[in-house]
Amino acid sequence: MVTLTSLWLPILLSAVGVFVASSLVHMLLRWHNADYRKLPNEDEVRAAIRKGPATPGQYVVPHCLDMKQLQSPEMQQKFVEGPNALLWIRANGKQAMGPMLGQWFALNLLVSFTVAYLAAHTLAAGAAPLQVLRVTASIGFLAYAVGSISDGIWFYKPWRAVGKDLLDALIFGFAGGAVLAWLWPAAA
C-alpha cells in the first residue's frame, strides 16, 4: 500500500515540475500571445468602463436575469444588434504577478496532491514507472484540461485557444506524472 505521507516529496516536486513547464510554455514558447486581441477602440471602451464605474467582477453584455427576460423581443434585439460579450474586470493598479503565481503554484500543489491520492489508491508500491506515468499523467491532464473545454462551450473562448490549453494540459499532466513515476515508492 502507498501512503500519502510517503508521497509528500513527489507531490511537492510534481507541482514544481508543472510550474516550471508552465513557465516555459508562457515565457519561452509564448503560443498563447495570439489568443488575446486588442479592441480597435480600446481607449473609448476603457473610458466607458471607467465612467460606469464598473467594480472588479464578471460581466455579460447584454445582461438578463432569467429565461423569461431572455425571450423578450427587446432582449433578443440586443443580441441581434450586438455586441455580445463576457468581460472580467480586475482592480486598478500595477500588474503584480507574484500573487497570481502563488495561486498558480497552490493550484498545482492541489492537483498534484489529488493525482497522488488517486494513484495511491490505484497503484501498488513498486508499480512499473510506465504504469505510474499512464495513470498520473492521465489524471493530471484531465485536471488541467476540463476547465478550458467548459470555457469554450459556455464562455465563447475560441476553440483554437482551447486547443492550445489542451496541449498545455497534456504537457502539465506529463510533467507532473513523470515526477510521480520517477519517485514512486518501491515495493517493501
Per residue in 86-98, pLDDT (tens digit) is: 999 999 999 999 9
Structural contact between residues 129 and 177, judged by C-beta atoms closer than 8 angstroms: no
Read off the pLDDT of each residue in 79-84 and give the average, rounded to a whole number.
Answer: 95
pLDDT of residue 121: 97
Q: Is residue 69 pLDDT above 90, yes or no? A: yes
**Phi/psi of residue 32, nearest 5 degrees:** -90, -10
Q: Which CA distances in Å does 123 have to 40, 64, 93, 136, 177? A: 54, 49, 48, 10, 13
Q: What is the pLDDT of residues 1-14, one digit of tens each?
A: 899 999 999 999 99
What is the pLDDT confidence band of residue 63, given thresholds at 50, 70 and 90? very high
pLDDT of residue 60: 93
Q: Is residue 53 pLDDT above 90, yes or no? A: no
Read off the pLDDT of each residue in 49-65 and give the average, rounded to a whole number.
Answer: 92
Q: Is residue 52 pLDDT above 90, yes or no? A: no
Q: What is the pLDDT of residues 101-136, one digit of tens each?
A: 999 999 999 999 999 999 999 999 999 999 999 999
Q: What is the pLDDT of residues 132-169, one digit of tens each?
A: 999 999 999 999 999 999 999 999 999 999 999 999 99
Read off the pLDDT of each residue in 46-69 and give the average, rounded to a whole number.
Answer: 92
Angle (CA) 105-111-114 rounded to 5° is 140
pTM above 0.85, yes or no: yes
Q: Give domain limits for the chain.
A: 4-38+96-182
Read off the pLDDT of each residue in 42-51 and give the average, rounded to a whole number.
Answer: 93
* Residues 6 or more apart in contact with residue 100 via CB below 8 angstroms: none
